Chain A
Amino acid sequence: DADVTQTPRNRITKTGKRIMLECSQTKGHDRMYWYRQDPGLGLRLIYYSFDVKDINKGEISDGYSVSRQAQAKFSLSLESAIPNQTALYFCATSDLRSGASGSSYNEQFFGPGTRLTVL
């Protein structure tokens, strides 16, 4: 989705380096997420934020940190990159919508992904 952008799109780095992946959105959504995808493993949640002052760990947060600088920006950092962090990283935003049952659901919008290689 063009309203969710990620930089860089590709990055090759070395073990031990600190890396930051940036995500920006123009959709005006409060909720933002970081996922990683490895071949055959689907998407796994790293961190999520439901508003600017909210940060939550996902299922695989070890080795990662995040910063929610503004509603529109959510950055993911690898403090000391290691080879098994080589993966495709996706940022997503979501809008909470009201459904037919009276409760709510999310519709997530994903960025184009960042392919990270750690040598």
Chain B
Amino acid sequence: LAKTTQPISMDSYEGQEVNITCSHNNIATNDYITWYQQFPSQGPRFIIQGYKTKVTNEVASLFIPADRKSSTLSLPRVSLSDTAVYYCLLDSGNTPLVFGKGTRLSVIA
């Protein structure tokens, strides 16, 4: 199963942009890069996926360089409610998703 590496934790002040980088050196051609968000005592929630370049939705942006060996989740102007664990995963559609420990983001007022 493909693996990803991301920071264990990050802190940010309200209103700042937060960038969480994920490394996936062994990404396969068919893999998509997917990010999930998990609040305490809730199940993870899908927030964004991408294959290459840049993807943006109402929640976040995802930047993927040409070699696809890393990706960056960008959360614009975070608020206290963005405090959560963020998981970076590789998804080829044919195998179940592997959730690592994720990145615990703490937003401070």
- Binding site secondary structure of chain A: strand
Look across to chain A and name the residue whose beta carbon is closest to the beta carbon of B46.
A107
Q: Chain B residues near A1 (CB, 8 Å)? A: 43, 45
- How many residues on the B side are at the interface (Cβ–Cβ under 8 A)? 25
Q: Chain B residues near A74 (CB, 8 Å)? A: none
- Binding site secondary structure of chain B: loop
Look across to chain A and name the residue whose beta carbon is closest to the beta carbon of B96.
A48
Look across to chain B and name the residue whose beta carbon is closest to the beta carbon of A88.
B41
List residues of chain A with CB under 8 Å of any chain B CB.
Answer: 1, 33, 35, 40-45, 48, 56, 58, 88, 90, 92, 96, 99-101, 103-113, 115
Interface CB pairs A-B, < 8 A, 14: A40-B101, A42-B87, A42-B100, A43-B99, A90-B44, A100-B51, A103-B93, A104-B94, A105-B32, A105-B34, A107-B34, A107-B49, A108-B36, A108-B44
List residues of chain B with CB under 8 Å of any chain A CB.
Answer: 30, 32, 34, 36, 41-46, 49, 51-52, 87, 91-94, 96-102
